[in-house]
């Protein structure tokens, strides 16, 4: 059985909703999942999981959340080589530059990205967004 970590930060609850839908998809596909906030995940925990889904919304000028999420992710970046990861998050403006930049960081770190462009949802996940999140969870469980 695949054991998946979902590590996320959510300001408005949209990315948290995505995390929960992804977790539902993992469970439905027979995987095991554990959800973490930014303050309770570290590089040492990476080895406990077959894959990790990281979630963060676009903030400010299309960047990762700067006070909690980005420092945590930056600390993990050097440990991502060869790791199976997926990226997700919500946005309210822009064109997804934050996700493209984040995907590039992961590729440069040597991570294996499940979805090359990540999963983004505008605002709160609607029915299509919920389905996309659950589909991502299923893919993570099968990976």
The CATH number linked to 41 is 3.40.50.360
- Is the per-residue pLDDT at 98 higher than 90? yes
Separation of alpha carbons 61 and 95, rounded Å: 11
Separation of alpha carbons 91 and 120, rounded Å: 7
Average pLDDT rounded to a whole number, residues 62-79: 95
- Is the per-residue pLDDT at 6 higher than 80? yes
Among residues of the chain, what percentage have pLDDT more than 90?
92
Q: What are residue 113's phi and psi, to 5 degrees?
A: -90, 125
Three-state SS at 61: coil
**Could you report how far apart the first and last alpha carbons of the chain are, in Å?**
10
Q: pLDDT digits over 15-32, tens only?
A: 999 999 999 999 999 999
Separation of alpha carbons 75 and 87, rounded Å: 16
3-state secondary structure 97-110: HHHHHHHHHHHHCC
Give the total number of structural domains in the chain: 1
Separation of alpha carbons 8 and 123, rounded Å: 16
* Domain region containing 75: 3-142
- Binning pLDDT at 50, 70 and 90, where does residue 124 land? very high
- Binning pLDDT at 50, 70 and 90, where does residue 1 land? low
What would you report as the CA-atom Rg of the chain, rounded to the nearest whole angstrom? 13
Q: For residue 140, how many C-alpha atoms fall within 13 Å in the half-sphere facing its CB? A: 38
Q: Within the chain, what is the greatest distance between any pair of CA atoms? A: 39
121 closest CA partner among 40, 10, 7: 10
Q: pLDDT digits over 72-82, tens only?
A: 999 999 999 99
Separation of alpha carbons 7 and 36, rounded Å: 5
Can you give the pLDDT at residue 94? 87
């Amino acid at each position: 059985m695949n054991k998946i970590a979902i590590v996320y930060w959510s300001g408005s609850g949209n990315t948290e909703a995505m995390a929960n839908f992804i977790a539902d998809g993992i469970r439905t596909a027979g995987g095991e999942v554990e959800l973490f906030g930014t303050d309770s995940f570290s590089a040492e925990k990476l080895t406990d999981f077959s894959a990790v889904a990281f979630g963060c919304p676009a903030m400010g000028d299309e960047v990762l959340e700067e006070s909690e999420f980005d420092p945590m992710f930056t600390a993990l970046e050097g440990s991502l080589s060869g790791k199976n990861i997926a990226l997700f998050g919500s946005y309210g403006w822009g064109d997804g530059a934050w996700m493209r930049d984040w995907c590039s960081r992961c590729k440069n770190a040597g991570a294996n990205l499940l979805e090359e462009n990540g999963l983004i949802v505008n605002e709160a996940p609607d029915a299509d967004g919920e389905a996309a999140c659950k589909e991502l969870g299923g893919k993570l469980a099968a990976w």
